[in-house]
Amino acid sequence: MSRSRSAALATVGAGLLWGSSFAVIKIGLRSIDPYWFVFLRFGVASVLVFSYLWATGRLPEALRLLRHPLVLWLGVTNAVGFVFQFKGQTLTTAGNAALIINSCTIYVAIASRFVFRERFGPLKVLGVTLGMVGVYLVTTGGKLTATLGEGFAGDLLVLVAALTWTAFILLNKKIVELLDVDVRSLTGALVVVTALVSLPIALTLGRGSFPGVVPELWTIPYTAILCTILPFFLWTWGLKFISATTSSLIMLSEVIFALVLASVILGERPTPGGFAGSALIILAILLASRESVVEIAAGPDVVPE
């Protein structure tokens, strides 16, 4: 199997695991403070991934990366994005969060044209336009009066997270291109920086301290392992062999799986306007990310000119 195909399959796996996180996070937020949830998720992930790196002899590489400015900024943007998402999900649905977060694909398509010189044709222009309309319909249901509700406030917070992760995706792509690093070491450094940045935020904005024993406590190790360590590794490794835009296209599986779980597990049902917006966002992601995996160039520069 070619590396590009293996990278595509790894990205699909990451998308399915990340897709499950939206419903699980919504369940955990029933009793866990959002700011502490972010810290505990990445705190647990940090302990586990650094134990693995120590056991496999990769710890020195991870510690070296912790001193690299680009890696530090990557962790900061990741922490900020998760803080906005988790707080936003206390006010909006898991389905809306999944759709808005994944709308960052549209912004990545725009930015990649200037940062990585990726192709930007009529389909991407159409995708951006449809995506903007879709985000509006999802957040308001097509009604201006919806902006007065707390659901709209939650959607706006999640939208800030999506914009933050646009910078995160582009920066992560730049790192795997510029630095010849082991992606497991990079993942370890990333989750540690994210945990360290989110701790003072939890101490400042969080309610109380660590959550006690609650029925939803299982959501912390679940998101730490299956929605952090494993998908970050799969996705980051995939970015070494496919472009940022192709990766975003494949990650369409995340939002579809998230919507299915939100409906099955949480019983969420979108309004007619929200349903139309969902369809437009999914179509926009598909159009804005349209690119064949076989177009990826070989060698260190994997982004098409």
Distance CA 136, CA 93 (A): 15
pLDDT of res. 243: 74
Confirm whether 71 is domain-assigned. yes
pLDDT of res. 301: 29
Confirm whether 194 is domain-assigned. yes
Cβ neighbors of 37 (< 8 A, separation 6 or more) are: 25, 28, 29, 86, 219, 220
Confirm whether 176 is domain-assigned. yes
Work out how many domains the chain is built from and give that number: 1
Confirm whether 301 is domain-assigned. no
10-residue mean pLDDT profile of the chain (305 residues): values are 80 89 94 94 94 92 90 92 95 88 75 65 72 72 58 88 87 76 84 94 82 83 92 82 72 80 86 78 69 34 27
Per residue in 214-247, pLDDT tens?
889 999 999 999 998 888 788 878 877 877 667 7
Distance CA 105, CA 98 (A): 12
Three-state SS sequence of the chain: CCHHHHHHHHHHHHHHHHHHHHHHHHHHCCCCCHHHHHHHHHHHHHHHHHHHHHHCCCHHHHHHHCCCHHHHHHHHHHHHHHHHHHHHHCCCCHHHHHHHHHCHHHHHHHHHHHHCCCCCCHHHHHHHHHHHHHHHHHHHCCCHHHHHCHHHHHHHHHHHHHHHHHHHHHHHHHHHHHCCCCHHHHHHHHHHHHHHHHHHHHHHHCCCCCCCCCHHHHHHHHHHHHHHHHHHHHHHHHHCCCCHHHHHHHCHHHHHHHHHHHHHHHCCCCCHHHHHHHHHHHHHHHHHCCCCHHHCCCCCCCCCC
Confirm whether 304 is domain-assigned. no
Confirm whether 109 is domain-assigned. yes
Per residue in 20-55, pLDDT tens?
999 999 999 999 999 999 999 999 999 999 999 999
Confirm whether 196 is domain-assigned. yes
Number of residues that this document lists for the chain: 305
Please give the residue range of the domain that contains residue 91. Answer: 3-295
Confirm whether 300 is domain-assigned. no
